[in-house]
Amino acid sequence: MQRQSIWVVAAVVGLLLAGSYPLAQELGVASLRGAQVDVPVGIEDLAAQHKRRFNRAYRMQPPLIPHGIDQYQIDAANNQCLGCHDWSNAGDQDAPTLSMTHYLDRDGRQLDEVAGTRWFCNQCHVTQADVEPLVENTFVPSSQR
């Protein structure tokens, strides 16, 4: 009996959530870039790639990615970035090699394969674009302090 009522509550909550979607629009809820939440945003408009490398803003910054990455799959089994950036391929591909910090596991052991903690590259590296900051802020690169 109790289990049944849990399902009823779940169904009601689900319906309410589904119903609130158009509500977001009515209330004028928009993304940081001012787009309506139900309108797809074309990334071409926002993130024109800049081919030359940007300076790092501080010494240990993960460098920005100076090329597109939308074609490169990263999941539990595959990581296409490694096809160019792993130490075993980078020479052939004329790409910068992952720095050796990427081959240290969390216990400080040197590995021959990229560490699990560095598997999801775009956790730290993002593609670069010369765009206005989404939120006003006072950040300055450490070299300009």
d(CA 143, CA 5): 61
Does 128 bind ligand HEC (CB under 6 A)? Our answer is no
Interface map 40-79 toward ligand HEC (x if CB under 6 A): -------------x------x-xx-xxx-x--x------x
d(CA 110, CA 126): 26
Of 78, 99, 142, 143, the one binding ligand HEC by CB under 6 A: 99
Does 22 bind ligand HEC (CB under 6 A)? Our answer is no
Buried b (16+ CB within 10 A) or exposed e, 88-122: eebeeeeeeebeeebbeeeeeeeeeebbeebbebe
Residues that bind ligand HEC (CB under 6 A): 53, 60, 62-63, 65-67, 69, 72, 79-85, 93-96, 98-99, 101-102, 114, 118, 120-125
